[in-house]
Structure 1
Amino acid sequence: MKKLVSGRVALAGLGCVLGCTLGSPQSAQAADMNNYGARAPYTVNQPLNAYSWAGPYLGANLGYAWGSVHNNPTEPSGFAGGLTAGYNWQTGPWVFGAEGDIQATGASDTFAPWKFSNPWFGTVRGRVGYAFNNIMFFGTGGLAFGELRGETFGLSESHTRAGWTVGAGTEFGLTQNLSAKIEYLYVDLANSNFTITGTSNGYRFGLLRAGVNYRF
């Protein structure tokens, strides 16, 4: 009789353990429902390259230009700043875009009787980049245009010329809409004949600048 009672007690204890174990997920679920009111929605994992560079953008930049005037000893240099507008298309990590900018500059230099300055310039360029999520490395190149002004003995002469530009840079996505960039451009404004110098002069310069873009 004692063995029978002991067996029933053991079976009862085993049933209790199994019941508590099987019931614990339901208890946890009930606790989760009580704490949050409802389960959090299921979230699909985002792809590795989740940051999007596609779409139109506007920006501003500030940098420093330094260069030289062909057939003249002057070497105009100074700060440059302006506005940028562009559009990107993205295929996987590859980013293709078109960008234009207009810049005001303080680049100038005086040597003996000659003074040359570059009051403004602009570019229209293509861009090709490779993105690692929110970091993009890119190359760029295209058309450049701008003014070269010469002065001597109270006389002044200005020529607006077209040329070419090429460069490279890195852009960092700070938020989905806002990015910052560091960029280097080499700009060649073609030669033209200046009456005051009696020769052909043109301006070649490098430009290192930083900027921010807002993507719509």
Structure 2
Amino acid sequence: MRHSTTLAVLAAAFLSTTAMAADLPRRAAPPPVFVPIPVFSWSGAYFGVNAGYAFSESDTIRTTGIGALEANVVNNLRRRNVAMPQDGFSAGGQVGYNFQLTPGSGVVFGIEADAQYTDLQRRRTETIFNPVFNPNVLTNSYRTELGFLGTVRGRIGYAFDRVLVYGTGGFAYGDVSQSVTFRTAAPITYSGARSTIETGYAYGGGIEYALPTESFLNVFRASAVTIKAEYLRYDLGSRNLLVATRGGPGVGYNSRFDTEGSIVRAGLNFKFGGF
């Protein structure tokens, strides 16, 4: 009897404890943690390399004779217009800084300086024999070259997240060499040459894309690697070259050169600063 009473008391105590535990409030589950997705920004400094194709425009040399020597130009002994088209590859580097007003999509503006070698050079030699106007064989030689081109330009565009479309324009300079030599029979009778840094302007536009940060191209551990395609047109002006007498009659000739052209190129940039 005593054992039965003891078991009954223990059972009642267990059931009472279980009921009390069921009445206790439960601990609330922790709220979910939201990790914000980083928003890409074009703001920051960058440097990179570029390579492409360059070609000249307005590349005709125009010659006039001084005084009585204009008759030789009229009679086609010294050609009035000589076409000197040039094309070749270009390669160089650039540095710059961008500032984006609003991360993600928005207006981007900045400044960029670049310099590149340009394989733009051309030589041309013509032999003219017209005994009606001159009994000698005349040889006319021309040379023009743009050794390198540099620019300092502003850039402004609009970013669609990792895609940037932009226009650009500013100052341009280049190493320009030009020469003309006229021979009458064997001797050089008129010649002129110049080699100098010319200045002018450049403008164009392009599109740039920021690769993911983990790209294998990110060897400098930059915050982004970008690739771009770009078109630039440059104009370093027109200059007269005096093809002066070297023993021939008269003062000589004036040959006018235009230094204009375009570059179509691709580039790779390593960007620092921002995401």
Asked if Structure 1 and Structure 2 have the same fold, meaning a TM-score greater than 0.5 normalized by the shorter chain, the answer is yes
What is the correspondence of 1:1-216 to structure 2 with a 5 Å cutoff? 41-46=33-38, 50-68=39-57, 69=59, 71-72=61-62, 73-92=83-102, 93-112=106-125, 113-153=141-181, 156-175=193-212, 176-196=223-243, 198-216=254-272
Secondary structure of 2:61's partner?
coil
Gaps of 5+ in 2: 1-21, 63-82, 126-140, 182-190, 213-222, 244-252
Which SS does the other structure have where 2:34 is aligned? coil
Measure, in 2, the Cα distance between the counterparts of 1:163 and 1:150: 17
Kept in 1: contact 2:192–2:241 (CA 8 A): no
Q: How many angstroms does 1:121 deviate by?
A: 1.0
Per-residue deviation at 1:110? 2.4
Percent identical: 32
Are 1:70 and 1:191, in contact at CA under 8 Å, matched by a contact in 2?
no
Structure 2 counterpart SS, 1:195: strand
Structure 1's unaligned 5+ residue stretches are: 1-18, 30-37
Decide whether the 8 Å contact of 1:137 with 1:169 is kept in 2: yes
Find the residue that maps to 1:126 and give its secondary structure. Answer: strand
Give, as a single letter, the amino acid of the residue that structure 2 aligns with 1:184: Y
Matched letter for residue 178 of structure 1 = V
Show the counterpart of 1:32. none
Aligned partner of residue 148 in structure 1, secondary structure: strand
CA distance in structure 2 between the partners assigned to 1:162 and 1:70 by the alignment: 19
8 A Cα contact 1:70 1:203, kept in partner: no
Give 1:211's aligned amino acid: G
- Residue type matched to 1:163 in 2? G
Of 72-81 and 148-157, the range deviating more from structure 2 = 148-157
Q: 2:210 is aligned with what amino acid?
A: G
TM-score (norm 2): 0.60
* CA RMSD, Structure 1 to Structure 2 (Å): 2.6
Shift of 1:156: 4.5
Q: Which has the larger radius of gyration?
A: 2
Distance in 2 separating the partners of 1:56 and 1:84 = 11
Question: What is the CA distance between 1:40 and its match in structure 2?
Answer: 7.8
